[in-house]
């Protein structure tokens, strides 16, 4: 019989370049399970505990830590060593009372940025999909795989444009309540999450929609006054006057 589905294993050589592992020391590495983030934009919990934070020296020790419920992701206990953590996820180590947010850094990919107690109760989620379901309610698909149902009292008079795609919701975790909204528009602060400028952030100066199959381009200006461009898909709004989350560096 033919094999169904993709491989459940991953060798170190083709693994994402930003993973902090030795490519030729061993052959295999833990492959993130299908879930909230794609494999090229996430880290398995095993690498987080063993190779990044150093709480475990071996895979066996990391599995014991996870089995005891010492690790929370977005406020929920995760015991799977291959569970993927990605952009804006909040990782909490219960015994040490440490909290980290997964953020991009220039030329280093995704890193765990230490945050305080005031930030661990929320995360920013970008709206990727928007559909109208039965009853006229709005269902939003977020970048981390969450689905949020926005109930509409009067289907003939739906809410304004707060729930457009590319807008960002400030979500309470783990309750999954919408606390605030950042619209994707000129003047807001945006974080670049992909491409050569990944990890840079600045104020959105211009949004240029191009004709044909070409993607829309966004021009941002950083704190030093330097301007740079990236495609619309790579821009993640993070605040209005100032960033709503602390950033590395």
Tokens of 156: 């003939």
182 within a domain of the structure (yes/no): no
Q: In this structure, are 196 and 135 located in the same domain?
A: no
Average pLDDT over residues 7-14: 92
Dist CA 82 CA 63 (whole Å)? 10
Tokens of 225: 């006054």
> Cα separations (Å) of 245 from 17, 83, 103, 111?
26, 24, 10, 15
Q: In this structure, are 147 and 216 located in the same domain?
A: no
Q: In this structure, are 58 and 110 located in the same domain?
A: yes
Q: In this structure, are 151 and 110 located in the same domain?
A: no
Listed in sequence order, the residues at least 6 apart from 74 whose beta carbon sits closer than 8 Å to its beta carbon are 89, 90, 123, 173, 174
14: helix, strand or coil = coil
Q: Looking at 76, 96, 115, which one is the last position of a domain?
A: 115
Q: How confident is the model at residue 53 (pLDDT cuts 50, 70, 90)?
A: very high
What pLDDT is stored for residue 160 in this prediction? Answer: 65
Q: In this structure, are 38 and 133 located in the same domain?
A: no
Residue 18 has pLDDT above 70, yes or no: yes
Dist CA 152 CA 154 (whole Å)? 6
Q: Looking at 115, 145, 179, which one is the last position of a domain?
A: 115
Total structural domains within the chain: 3
135 within a domain of the structure (yes/no): yes
Residue 1 has pLDDT above 60, yes or no: no
- Say if residue 181 is exposed, middle or buried (CB neighbours under 10 Å; 0-12, 13-18, 19+): middle
Q: In this structure, are 131 and 147 located in the same domain?
A: yes
What pLDDT is stored for residue 6 in this prediction? Answer: 78
Q: In this structure, are 95 and 149 located in the same domain?
A: no
1 within a domain of the structure (yes/no): no
5 within a domain of the structure (yes/no): no
Residues listed for the chain: 249
CATH number at residue 195: 2.30.30.30
pLDDT tens digit string along 185-207? 999 999 999 999 999 999 999 99
pLDDT tens digit string along 74-120? 999 999 999 999 999 999 999 999 999 999 999 889 999 999 999 99
Torsion of CA 228, 231, 233, 239, to 10 degrees: 20
For the ranges 36-45, 155-164, 172-181, the lowest mean pLDDT is seen at 155-164
Q: Which of 126, 38, 20, 119 is nearest to 85 (CA)?
A: 38
248 within a domain of the structure (yes/no): no
What pLDDT is stored for residue 161 in this prediction? Answer: 72
What is the helix (H) or strand (E) element at residue 54, kind and residue range?
Answer: none
CATH number at residue 89: 3.10.290.10
CATH number at residue 148: 2.40.50
Q: Supply the DSSP symbol for 232.
A: G
Q: In this structure, are 14 and 110 located in the same domain?
A: yes
Q: In this structure, are 23 and 74 located in the same domain?
A: yes
Instruction: Please give the mean pLDDT across all residues of the chain.
Output: 92
Q: Supply the DSSP symbol for 4.
A: P
Dist CA 231 CA 57 (whole Å)? 40
Q: In this structure, are 64 and 101 located in the same domain?
A: yes
Domain that holds residue 162: 123-167
Q: In this structure, are 25 and 103 located in the same domain?
A: yes
Angle subtended at Cα 85 by Cα 84 and Cα 88, rounded to the nearest 5 degrees: 150
Q: In this structure, are 144 and 216 located in the same domain?
A: no
Listed in sequence order, the residues at least 6 apart from 175 whose beta carbon sits closer than 8 Å to its beta carbon are none
Q: What is the DSSP string of 190-220?
A: EEE-SSTTTT-EEEEEEEEPPSTTPPPEEEE
What pLDDT is stored for residue 41 in this prediction? Answer: 93
Share of the chain above pLDDT 70, in %: 98
108 within a domain of the structure (yes/no): yes
């Amino acid at each position: 019989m033919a094999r169904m589905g993709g491989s459940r294993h991953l060798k170190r050589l083709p693994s994402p370049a930003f993973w902090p592992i030795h490519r030729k020391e061993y052959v295999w590495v833990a492959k993130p399970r299908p879930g909230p983030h794609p494999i090229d934009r996430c880290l398995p919990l095993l690498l987080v505990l063993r190779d990044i934070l150093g709480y475990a020296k071996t895979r066996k020790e990391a599995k014991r830590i996870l089995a005891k419920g010492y690790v929370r992701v977005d406020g929920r206990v995760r015991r799977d060593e291959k569970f993927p953590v990605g952009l804006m996820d909040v990782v909490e180590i219960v015994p040490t009372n440490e909290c980290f947010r997964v953020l991009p850094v220039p030329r280093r990919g995704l890193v765990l940025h230490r945050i305080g107690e005031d930030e661990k109760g929320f995360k920013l989620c970008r709206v990727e999909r928007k559909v109208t379901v039965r009853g006229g309610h709005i269902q939003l698909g977020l970048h981390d795989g969450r689905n949020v149902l926005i109930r509409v009292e009067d289907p003939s008079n739906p809410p304004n444009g707060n729930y457009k795609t590319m807008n960002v919701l400030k979500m309470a975790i783990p309750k999954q309540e919408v606390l605030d909204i950042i619209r994707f528009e000129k003047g807001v602060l945006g974080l670049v999450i992909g491409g050569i400028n990944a990890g840079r952030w600045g104020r959105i100066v211009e949004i240029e929609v191009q004709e044909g199959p070409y993607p829309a381009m966004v021009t941002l200006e950083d704190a030093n006054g330097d301007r740079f461009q990236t495609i619309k898909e790579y821009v993640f709004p993070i605040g209005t006057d100032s960033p709503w989350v602390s950033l590395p560096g």
